[in-house]
Structure 1
Amino acid sequence: MTDARVEQLLNDIRLVNPERHELVAAARRVIYTEVKQASERVMYGGFMFAAPKDFCGVFAYAEHISIEFGRGCDLHDEWQVLEGKGKLRRHIKIHSLAEIKSKHLAAYIKQAFENVNA
């Protein structure tokens, strides 16, 4: 069953910025492909994904979307795409559909899920 708040936020993004909506939808597809048992909820103005523990979030901004990892400091950054200098959090900025593949989003999603559920 789809959460009404998730559907509302998706619709809001679609109305305000169709290009960002396309990126959010693509990122969600990657997440559900890599972590079939994932669930999502609206939190902090974006989408938080858990299975059963939180492993990432997707947030839409004016010029990009950001895939946020609460324990991004623990991710092996093989392709040097993680941003952020905080103690724990890291993120990947996505500006185009091509970057979802070129920045290896699927690998980071899978790794984040495995790390929090180890």
Structure 2
Amino acid sequence: MTCDRVLAFLDELQDQRADHFAIVSRLREIVLQAGPSISEEVKYGGILFSARTPFCGVFSYAGHVTLELSQGAALPDTHGVLLGQGKLRRHIKLFSVSDIEDRHVTHYVALARQAADA
């Protein structure tokens, strides 16, 4: 379910950072296709996605976009792309739309969604 705040966030991003808008839009498509009943909200300066519980977020920074995985530390990093040292979260840095495929984002989103449903 998309809310007006998400659309406003995307409009603003498109106006300010078209390169990041392309990455965020593609990530958003992938996350929303990861299963039924995924909700999204603008929080902490990005878009957070939840199923039964929050499982990931997308954030635009000055030089890159990140996909934050809420329980990323518990996920198998078969492609060696997860970054971070915290107890729970891991993230994937993206600099272009092609990084989404190169860094196997769809695979990690599916794992994060499954972990949220467990």
Residue 54 of structure 2 corresponds to residue 54 of structure 1: yes
Quote the Cα distance in structure 1 between the aligned partners of 2:35 and 2:80: 23
**How far 1:103 moved relative to its partner?**
0.5
Aligned to 1:101: 101
Task: State how many pairs are aligned.
Answer: 118
Q: Secondary structure at the match of 1:34?
A: coil
Gaps of 5+ in 2: none
Assess if the C-alpha contact under 8 Å between 2:72 and 2:90 holds in 1: yes
Unaligned runs of 5+ in 1: none
Q: Structure 1 runs of 4+ off > 6 angstroms?
A: none
> TM (normalized to structure 1)?
0.95
Kindly report the root-mean-square deviation, in angstroms, between the aligned alpha carbons of the 2 structures.
Answer: 1.1
How far apart are 1:53 and its partner, in Å? 1.0
**Alpha-carbon distance in 2 for matches of 1:2, 1:66:** 20
Match of 2:25?
25
For 2:111, the equivalent position in structure 1 comes to 111
- Where does residue 44 of structure 1 map in the other structure? 44
| Equivalent position amino acid for 1:99 in 2 | D
State the alpha-carbon separation in 2 of the partners of residues 8 and 18 from structure 1: 14
2:98 alignment partner, SS class: helix
- Name 1:91's counterpart in structure 2: 91
Note the C-alpha offset of 1:61: 1.1
Residues 50-105 of structure 1 show CA distances to partners (whole Å, capped at 9, x for unaligned) of 11210100001122110001211111000000000111111001111111011110
1:63-78 alignment runs, 5 A limit: 63-78=63-78
What is the percent sequence identity of the aligned residues? Answer: 37
AA partner of residue 94 (structure 2):
I
